[in-house]
Amino acid sequence: MNIPGLLRERFAVVLEPMVEQVDNLLGMIRPTTDPKMGDYQANFAMPLAKRLQRDPIELAEEIIGKVDLADLADRVEVAGRGFINVHLSDDFLAKQLVVISQDERHGISKPIDPQTILVDYSSPNVAKPMHVGHIRSTVIGDALSRIFRYLGHQVITDNHLGDWGTQFGMIIYGYKHFGEADKVKQNPVAELSSLYRYVHELMGLRAGQKRIDQMEDLIAKAKDDLSTLEHENNASNGDDPKSQKKFNKKLKSLRAKRDSLLKEQISLQEKLEIAESDSSLWKDLSDHREIETAVLEETAKLHQGDETNLRLWNDFLPFCIDEIDRVYKRLHVEFDHTLGESFYHPMLSGVIERLEKLDLITKSDGAKCVFLDGFEAPMIVQKRDGAYLYATTDLATLKYRLEEFNVDEILYVVDSRQSEHFDKLFAAAEKIFDQDLRLAHIQFGTVLGKDGKPMKTRSGTLIGLEGLLDDAVTRASEVVCNPERLASFDPPMSEDEQKDIAESVGIGAVKFVDLSHHRTSDYRFDLEKMVSLEGNTSTYVQYSYARTQAILHRVGADGRTSWDDGSKTPPVISHQAERELVLSLLRFEEALQGVRQDDAPNHLTDYLISTARSYSRFNESCRVIDAGNEHVKNTRIMLVRTTGEILKTGLDLLGIRVVRRM
RNA sequence: GCCUCCGUAGCUCAACUGGAUAGAGCACUGGUCUUCGGAACCAGGGGUUAGGGGUUCGAAUCCCUUCGGGGGUACCA
């Protein structure tokens, strides 16, 4: 049910004879900001009046005189400076309720022009443990894919795995020097990831050793710069306020730099001291002084097709994939394709050839570059040493997707820090491929800790995703399975049921929090608050759903009423809370269209919260089973059933499960 | 230095892309009900949308500027 669409059609009939290009004007039909003013408002009379040099109020009056809304609205009026307010009739709402309650798709219309949309999301580096940073891409990409598919588009999901990078060089190096074949065979996933972590640690310590040698010089220089600046200022005393300000700013930044260097020095010293106290670690560190270059060499050998490394890669990869699949399973995320970087490796030289043929390559400092208008730095496609880069793989991937999937749109759900990379990629694509398609970087902000800084553990590593999910489920379980609540359940909840509910609530909470923030903004991840299970949370929505099911259960069957069997007495709206709820249910499509328009799932989370709230109010003031009047009772059963279905569908589109009771 | 994003209630966040009196949730204050499963509902206080200027019927939103913060910036992904 698309009410604004319907209103647009009706108003178009009136506007089209008056002016050209009415699309913009019709776009100004939207829900009212305040329900007192009606249900929908049309704001086009004001700009139109300007264009026609007329009085806006008069013009609005003329328009409502002509528009035919008799079957939809019982009140259409002009207010303020020329706003047109539409108040839908209860009769119309009641009829539409029947329509959406009987339709499997809840009255969602099919797109006029269905698109083939490829969504590229999640894309973790395998072999590294997944951390909080991965959650946004995975959850947002999954939700967008589900929603677009539900709207009637053809959606292809692709997980562009990082399965060919330095991290494999690290694992291979680790295996060759510290690995034990038996152990790896017995428990590959744990063993490989611990090898990865160990090499990672050694590399970090080694880098720290190198860094600390330079520290003294760096600090001396920072102090030097600072005193030079101070000296300069003394010499040019009595300058104008503007340059004084500039000076202060510079001073501040130099001081900050000095302080951060001092801090870094201390923390490095601490780290190294701790490492030194671990004798076997310290020995490995001194035995592997060239670990960084050695790891790069192992990676390079893999890429060149070295037999041993390739065999190890082939052996290890499935285990790494098992590892991430476990997380996906828990998050209920699936992909149509998982074409990682390794898949495109054979095509990379072809990309360079093509670029050379098109005369787009310039050699600079020994690297092959594509210079693009409007960018200071070029897009480097082949390093001085001959190795290919991220950009090269992305171009190969793009080419493959164009040829193989014949797409209309490609959405890259990736961190906003990479926006420059995508700007360049898209600019280059325009030069290389002459195909009319939409390439979009669906960027998102960072997940921050409670303190507003990126989430890290005390040791400085990013917080692991699985541990985080475990925490959420544990906290959810503490609330869901608190004995006082459990006592009121009849029949009682089995342990399996309790577990199932805790899992749904805990995982749902993490996902919903992520999706309910506008994707472009950073947000603070506050586990305490999230699992407090209050406020604008998935729990509230899940709980509302459970309440609908409890009532339907008591009514018997699944709440089907005589309307569904062909008797055509329309439902009756007898209470304000019913009216609000019906209107909310009819707006499901608006919410989904909002997601589509902005590629932003928070439109749907907002909708679900507000619908659940309407339902709570309804639940508070409208009895169902003992409504008294059969007609009212039947209407309410229909409302409860449809609400349940829409809440469930909505959560499902966000990848969140519901349970029948909780 | 250059580019870019952001600054909204005490806190966490919205605001349908320029619409009417800027909304929710926490927290706070008060209230409802012998609960169709109360994890509920209702009411209230709380705002110079960082500051200033501009554009127009109309600005949190667009432009300029100041302040404050994040991110990016040639061989990582």
Q: Which two tokens stand for residue A496?
A: 């399996």
pLDDT band at A160 (very low <50, low <70, confident <90, very high): very high
CA torsion through residues A556, A557, A558, A562, sign: negative
Strand B: list positions under 7 Å from protein Cβ.
Answer: 1-2, 4-6, 12-17, 19-21, 23-27, 36-42, 56-58, 66-68, 70-77
Strand partners of residue A84? A42, A78
| A331 Cβ neighbours under 8 A, 6+ residues apart | A138, A139, A142, A469, A507, A511, A655
pLDDT band at A247 (very low <50, low <70, confident <90, very high): confident
Q: CB of residue A55 closer than 7 A to nucleic acid strand B?
A: no
Answer with the residue of higher pLDDT: A44 or A532. Answer: A44
Q: CB of residue A366 closer than 7 A to nucleic acid strand B?
A: yes
Considering only CA atoms, which of A151, A88, A79 is closest in space to residue A115?
A151
Residue A168 Cα to chain centre, angstroms = 28
CA torsion through residues A392, A394, A397, A401, sign: negative
**Are A319 and A192 within 8 A, CB to CB?**
yes
The pLDDT of residue A438: 93
CA of A468 to C1' of B11 (A): 23
Flag residues 480-519 of A with CB < 7 Å from strand B: 480, 485-486, 488-490, 501, 505, 516-518
Determine what percent of chain A is predicted with pLDDT higher than 90.
65
Q: How far apart are CA A353 and CA A365, in angstroms?
A: 19
Tell me what the pLDDT averaged over chain A comes to.
89
Q: CB of residue A138 closer than 7 A to nucleic acid strand B?
A: no
A280-294, A329-343, A442-456, A589-603: the lowest-pLDDT one: A442-456
User: Model confidence over A417-448: pLDDT tens digits?
Assistant: 999 999 999 999 999 998 889 999 999 998 98
User: Under the phi-then-psi rule, with left for phi > 0, alpha for psi from -120 to 50, and beta for the rest, what region is A78?
Assistant: beta
CA of A618 to C1' of B35 (A): 14
Q: Which nucleotide is nearest to A414 (CA to C1')?
A: B77
A432-446, A482-496, A610-624: the lowest-pLDDT one: A482-496
Q: Which nucleotide is nearest to A521 (CA to C1')?
A: B6
Q: How far apart are CA A247 and CA A138, in angstroms?
A: 45
| A137 Cβ neighbours under 8 A, 6+ residues apart | A121, A122, A123, A413, A414, A415, A444
pLDDT band at A36 (very low <50, low <70, confident <90, very high): confident
Flag residues 14-33 of A with CB < 7 Å from strand B: 27-28, 30-33
Q: If you average pLDDT over residues A260-284, what whole number do you get?
A: 89
The pLDDT of residue A216: 83
Q: How long a stretch of residues is chain A? A: 662
Tell whether the model's pLDDT for residue A580 goes beyond 70.
yes
Q: How many CB atoms lie within 10 A of CB A129?
A: 19
The pLDDT of residue A215: 83
Q: What is the pTM of this model?
A: 0.94
Flag residues 267-326 of A with CB < 7 Å from strand B: none
The pLDDT of residue A126: 87
User: Model confidence over A508-532: pLDDT tens digits?
Assistant: 999 999 999 999 988 988 877 777 6
Q: How many CB atoms lie within 10 A of CB A293?
A: 9
Q: CB of residue A154 closer than 7 A to nucleic acid strand B?
A: no
Q: What are phi and psi of A156, to 5 degrees?
A: -120, 125
Tell whether the model's pLDDT for residue A57 goes beyond 80.
yes
Q: If you average pLDDT over residues A558-585, what whole number do you get?
A: 76
Q: How far apart are CA A628 and CA A515, in angstroms?
A: 41
Tell whether the model's pLDDT for residue A562 goes beyond 90.
no
Tell whether the model's pLDDT for residue A227 goes beyond 70.
yes
DSSP codes of every residue in A335-369: -SB---HHHHGGGHHHHHHHHHHTT-EEEETTEEE
Tell whether the model's pLDDT for residue A256 goes beyond 90.
no
Q: How far apart are CA A279 and CA A507, in angstroms?
A: 41
Tell whether the model's pLDDT for residue A70 goes beyond 90.
yes
User: Model confidence over A316-370: pLDDT tens digits?
Assistant: 999 999 989 999 999 999 999 999 999 999 999 999 999 999 999 999 999 999 9
CA of A40 to C1' of B53 (A): 36
| A383 Cβ neighbours under 8 A, 6+ residues apart | A367, A389
SS (H, E, C) A91-102: HHHHHHHHHHHH
Q: How many CB atoms lie within 10 A of CB A633?
A: 17
Strand partners of residue A444? A415
Give residue for tokens 């902005």. A598
CA of A123 to C1' of B4 (A): 24
Q: If you average pLDDT over residues A586-591, what whole number do you get?
A: 95
A56-60, A227-231, A543-547: the lowest-pLDDT one: A227-231
The pLDDT of residue A20: 83
**Are A282 and A275 within 8 A, CB to CB?**
yes
Crossing angle between the packed helical segments A3-15 and A56-66, to the nearest 10 degrees: 100
User: Model confidence over A174-226: pLDDT tens digits?
Assistant: 999 999 999 999 999 889 988 998 999 999 899 888 888 888 888 888 888 77
User: Model confidence over A264-273: pLDDT tens digits?
Assistant: 888 888 889 9
Considering only CA atoms, which of A103, A95, A96, A98 is closest in space to residue A638?
A98
Flag residues 428-487 of A with CB < 7 Å from strand B: 446, 448, 452, 479-480, 485-486
Q: If you average pLDDT over residues A66-90, what whole number do you get?
A: 94
Q: Which nucleotide is nearest to A555 (CA to C1')?
A: B36
Nearest protein residue to nucleotide B2, judged by CA and C1' positions: A376
| A284 Cβ neighbours under 8 A, 6+ residues apart | A178, A202
Q: If you average pLDDT over residues A615-638, what whole number do you get?
A: 89
Q: Which two tokens stand for residue A71?
A: 């079957």
Tell whether the model's pLDDT for residue A230 goes beyond 80.
no
H/E element, A40: strand A40-42
- Pairing verdict, β A447-448 and A154-158: unpaired
Give residue for tokens 């047109």. A84
Q: How far apart are CA A313 and CA A172, in angstroms?
A: 8
Tell whether the model's pLDDT for residue A560 goes beyond 70.
no
**Are A72 and A2 within 8 A, CB to CB?**
no
CA atoms within 13 A on the CB side of A567: 8
Q: Which two tokens stand for residue A232?
A: 């300069």
Flag residues 586-625 of A with CB < 7 Å from strand B: 590, 594, 597-598, 600, 602-603, 606, 609, 613, 616-617, 619-625
| A95 Cβ neighbours under 8 A, 6+ residues apart | A570
Which parts of A517-629 fold into alpha helices (H)?
527-530, 538-555, 576-586, 588-598, 602-621
Q: CB of residue A662 closer than 7 A to nucleic acid strand B?
A: yes
The pLDDT of residue A556: 75
Nearest protein residue to nucleotide B13, judged by CA and C1' positions: A517
Exposed, middle or buried: residue A654 (CB in 10 Å: 0-12, 13-18, 19+)? Answer: buried
Q: Which nucleotide is nearest to A385 (CA to C1')?
A: B75
Answer with the residue of higher pLDDT: A273 or A630. Answer: A273
The pLDDT of residue A243: 66
Q: If you average pLDDT over residues A382-400, what whole number do you get?
A: 94
Q: Name the range with the highest mean pLDDT among A17-26, A257-266, A650-659.
A: A650-659
Q: What are phi and psi of A466, to 5 degrees?
A: -65, -40
Q: What are phi and psi of A227, to 5 degrees?
A: -70, -30
The pLDDT of residue A56: 93
Determine what percent of chain A is predicted with pLDDT higher than 70.
95
> For residue A124, what is the DSSP state?
P
CA of A233 to C1' of B14 (A): 47
Nearest protein residue to nucleotide B32, judged by CA and C1' positions: A620
Tell whether the model's pLDDT for residue A581 goes beyond 90.
yes
pLDDT band at A571 (very low <50, low <70, confident <90, very high): confident
Residue A114 Cα to chain centre, angstroms = 23
The pLDDT of residue A389: 93
Tell whether the model's pLDDT for residue A172 goes beyond 90.
yes
